[in-house]
Amino acid sequence: MKLMKLTLAAALLSATTLGAQASELRIALQSDADVLDPDQSRTFVGRIVYTALCDKLVDITPDLEIIPQLATEWSFSEDGKQLTMKLRDDVVFHDGTPFDAEAVAANIDRSQNFEESRRKSELSSITGVEVLGSHEIRLDLADADATLMAQLADRAGMMVSPTAATKAGVEFGLNPVCSGPYKFKERVAQDRIVLEKFADYYNADEYHFDTVSYLPIPDTTVRLANLQSGDIDMLERLAATDLAQAEGDAGIQVASAVSLGYQGITFNVGNGDKADNPWGKDNRLRQALSLSLDRDAINQVVFNGAFAAGNQPFPPTSPWYSKDFPVPARDIEHAKALLAETGFPDGIDLEVQVPNTTIPLQLMQVVQSMASEAGIRISLVSKEFATLLSDQTAGDYTASQIGWSGRIDPDGNIHQFMTTDAGINDSKYSNPEVDTLLNTARTSNNQQTRKESYNAARAILNEDAPIVYLYHETWIWALDSAISGFTPYPDGMIRLKGMKKEEG
Amino acid sequence: MLSFILRRVVIAIPTIILISIFVFTLQKLLPGDPVLAMAGEERDPQVLEFLREKYRLNDPIPVQYLTWIGNALTGDLGISLRTNQPVLELIAQKLPVTIQLATMAMVFAMLIGIPAGIFSAIKKGTVVDYIANVVALSGLSIPNFWLGIMLILLVSVKWKLLPASGYVPLSEDPIRSITVMIMPAFVLGTALAATLMRHTRSAMLSVLSSDYVRTARAKGLVERRVILKHAFRNALTPIVTLTALLFGELIAGAVLTEQIFTIPGFGKLVVDAVFNRDYAVVQGIVLVTAVGFIFMNLLADVAYVLLNPRLRKQ
């Protein structure tokens, strides 16, 4: 009898616990995702959706260590040219297709050879794929590639169902089929992307919501208002200026992590005729601009101190940050002296193009006012982002306020910007020494060698200053206080594992 | 009658062609490369070139136009460069949303504007009239976006009465669908309510001073009957015309309102498409809007002819 009572009590208890947990999670995103195909996708918010939808070969920890996800273990050969991976054997895609080494091979082939694929350059080091067993695979590389594991921890490592991909072709993104904890349910453009729990997920017990909805709400005030009114459960990218308001609300909790990216001013030093001006030719002027700025004050004024001041492509908290070049203190006299030295004792004009949105404009107005005290007269040309990007790529600019969302591996923040003829080196900076150092860092699997190469490159780049770095954004999430188990990651993703919401 | 309609349709064709050419060219004059805008941070030159070829962006503009209009004639408006969704499907998804918003806003505008106009006309020169005028003027001068944000903060965040933003289809949950739409419809409707109120007031004033109203009063009719049966009925004609005209404005005003309240409608679709240089979507929307407008005008013309027999002979 007692046993029966206990059982009954336990059953009731578990029933109430179950009932008390919300089965739906609504997340507000800053913008709408683009096409939902990991191989074609380009947006940051798209990656947030994939975190629940598409598992990757490997994942990262908040400290950016690579950890297993679909691959359980891996090792590089002595020369770094072969990567052997063992795979989970209990995984199926959302359409029932089993996940195995053949599927991985098909995915790598798709990322490399599918015409629409944006992942080609990320996996360009892979020259061959060898299926060693049903759940073991070897990737052959042209050269050692220190960035490969980080690529496999992002979209290039996301595994889509080969059956569905072959069938849907370019249209895969309309109905994506992966192997993540949640599967695609529906999408209404600019309104919502809804995922539902995938019952056959190997680790389904760790995921506590039946459905997850991603709602694009571009206006930050409206995003926060929705959270405060209880229409959503969490939001990403809370504006730094709204932080105090969110923290003052008892129903809201705030989490943050310094991002992997940066914001700065890129100079045109060799991109067409427009580079032929004092700012493009004389690095001392660019140094003078850098010295005229108080980066901490910028952070305080524009971002309420919530972001991180910076002067390198990696935030000061990153292990890759070179400690030999700390964030410089403001030194107006030194800046003026540099101006005089370059033949501009009475000051000099500088035109900077800037995106026509609130934050960049505020930022540049503060920069403008600080620089003017050193005799640098900045005029701002605000452009709508698509135009700004076109002009920048075409070399039709002197200086441009732009940033980078950041990559897990340090290479992603520097190589493609600072090496000769690299894909997005819009400043067309070229220095053989920097090329050698950055290529060494890219092809070495030895952390020490990489660190030394980056430090040496920093010494040169600090002098040449083709990009004047300003700050690093902090990802700020605001969540309903009933939510537990959320861990902030520097990549800005929302990992749902272990997250719960207690109904109040 | 049939020949009248046919004539109108034939006249409409060159208009549509002209509009489509105009928009197509105008769009190509916009600075900013669509493929680059689409690429965002991943600007792999090889892929960009492939996409330019795929979407035929390297063709001369007249060739691009002919390809597009040729496909459009067969009902294929292309696919969104950004999400790969067919443009026609996007439009079909968004149009009902905006129509619902515009209709609700119109109902608000009429419910507020017309009674306020009548009252202020009857009570001309009194406090009621002044208050109504001040309210109407504020309705016209308060910017939509400000009113929207204030309402969200007050009604949703503070009082938690209505959802702050978003959209639920009528078919899914009619009550919630209308609840979500109340604030945006109110915001969109206020400016119109003000215009309606001013027009109702002046129409009523002119009617109230006419002879037949005096006669009605002389017959000893109750004031309520005089105003609603005799005066208002006659004042209604210009008001109805105005209301029809305002409907077009409503669709345009929806662009801003949809941005504030994050309503996935027609306005939001076109704004986002322009920013993303999603050419196919912009062109599709303009074409559909132009055809829709011409169709509405045609309907209006037909209605006039039906209502006014004198026009039939012309």
- At B310 the pLDDT is 65
The CA distances from residue B55 to A247, B28, B39, B280, in Å, are 47, 14, 14, 10
Rounded Cα distance between B269 and B265, Å, is: 6
What do you get for the CA distance between the two ends of chain B, in Å?
A: 11
CB < 8 Å to A27, chain B? none
What does DSSP assign to residue A498?
A: T
* pLDDT score for B313: 60
Q: Which of residues 212-231 of B touch A (CB under 8 A)?
A: none
pLDDT digits (tens, 9 = 90+) for A195-214: 999 999 999 999 999 999 99
| Helix extents (H) in A27-125 | 44-53, 101-113
Whether A14 shows a pLDDT value over 70: the answer reads: no
The proportion of chain A whose per-residue pLDDT surpasses 90, expressed as a percent, equals: 87
* pLDDT tier at A164, thresholds 50, 70, 90: very high
Lowest mean pLDDT segment, chosen from A16-30, A355-369, B8-22, B89-103 = A16-30
Burial class (CB in 10 A: 0-12, 13-18, 19+), A196: middle
| Predicted TM-score (pTM) of this structure | 0.87
- A137 has a pLDDT exceeding 70: yes
Give chain B positions within 8 Å (CB) of A216: 262
A438-451 in b/e burial notation, b at 16+ Cβ within 10 A?
bebbbbbeeeeebb
Average pLDDT over residues B88-112: 91
Tens digits of per-residue pLDDT, A263-290? 999 999 999 999 999 999 999 999 999 9
What pLDDT score does B48 carry? 83
CB contact (8 A) between residue A423 and residue B264? no
Residue A188 forms contact with B (CB below 8 Å): yes
Average pLDDT, chain B: 85
Q: Which residues contact A376 (CB under 8 A, 6 or more apart)?
A: A288, A289, A292, A335, A339, A347, A348, A350
Q: What is the DSSP secondary structure assignment for residue A99, as one 8-state letter?
A: P
Residue B29 sits at the chain A interface (C-beta within 8 Å): no
Q: What is the pLDDT of residue B311?
A: 65
Minimal C-alpha gap between B286 and chain A (Å): 18
Interface probe for A, chosen from B38, B43, B167 (most Cβ of A below 10 Å), is B43
Residue B196 · residue B243 · CB < 8 Å = yes
**Phi then psi dihedrals of residue B86, to 5 deg:** -65, 135
Whole-number pLDDT of residue A10: 47
Could you tell me which residue, A373 or B233, shows the higher pLDDT?
A373
Average of per-residue pLDDT across A411-424: 93
B46 touches chain A (CB under 8 A): yes
- B33: nearest Cα among B58, B66, B65: B58
Q: What mean pLDDT value characterizes chain A?
A: 93
Q: How confident is the model at residue B312 (pLDDT cuts 50, 70, 90)?
A: low
Nearest by CB: A120 against B39, B44, B153: B44
Give residue-wise pLDDT tens across range B235-290: 877 777 777 677 777 877 888 899 889 899 988 898 888 888 888 899 898 888 88
Please report the pLDDT score of residue A323 as a whole number: 95
**Binary contact (B84, A389; C-beta < 8 A):** no
Contact B165 A171 (CB under 8 A): no
Q: Where does the pLDDT of residue A22 fall: very low under 50, low under 70, confident under 90, or very high at 90 and above?
A: low
CA-nearest of B3, B4, B82 to B305 is B4
Structure-model confidence comparison of residues B7 and A157, the more confident one: A157
Mean pLDDT, range A145-174, rounded to an integer: 96
**Local confidence band at B230 (pLDDT 50, 70, 90 cut-offs):** confident
Which of these ranges, A326-340, A448-462, B1-15, has the smallest mean pLDDT? B1-15
Distance from CA of A479 to the nearest CA of B (A): 15
Q: What are phi and psi of B166, to 5 degrees?
A: 110, -170
* Closest of A220, A207, A441, A238 to residue A322, by C-alpha: A441
Contacts of B151 (CB under 8 A, 6+ apart): B183, B186, B187
pLDDT attached to residue A212: 98
Q: Which of A189, A386, A423 sits opposite B90 (nearest CB)?
A: A189
The tokens of B245 are what?
């005209």
Which one of A222, A386, A390 has the shortest CB-CB distance to B262? Answer: A222
> Hey, how many other C-beta atoms are within 10 angstroms of the C-beta on A68?
15
The residue count for chain B: 314
Q: Decide which of A251 and B314 is more confident.
A: A251
Using a CB-CB cut-off of 8 Å, the residues of chain B touching A174 are 84-85
Report whether pLDDT(B164) > 60.
Answer: yes
**pLDDT over threshold 60, residue A306:** yes
Instruction: Place B307 in a pLDDT band, splitting at 50, 70 and 90.
Output: low
